[in-house]
Structure 1
Amino acid sequence: MRFTRYARYEDFDWTPRKLAMARSKPQRQQKKVEEQFPLLAALLPPPPSFDEEGELARRRERSRKTEIDQRARLARLWRDCRRDFFAATEEQKELIRKAWAEWRGPTTASYLRYVVDLHTGVHEARSVLFRQREERSRIELLKRLRAQATLEL
Structure 2
Amino acid sequence: MATTTPPTRYEDPEVQKAHTDLYLGSSERPLYPVLPLGMSTEDFDQVIHQFVEALGSKNVFAGEALQDYIDPYEIDEPGANARYRVQRPPTIEALQKVLQVANKHGIPLWTFSRGKNIGYGGPAPRLPGSVALDLHRMDKILEVN
TM range (shorter): under 0.3
Q: Name which structure has the greater RCO, CA cutoff 8 Å, separation 6+.
A: 2
Q: Larger helix proportion, structure 1 or 2? A: 1
Instruction: Give 1 or 2 for the bigger CA radius of gyration.
Output: 1
Tell me the TM-score normalised to structure 2 length. Answer: 0.27
Tell me the TM-score normalised to structure 1 length. Answer: 0.26
Q: Larger strand proportion, structure 1 or 2? A: 2
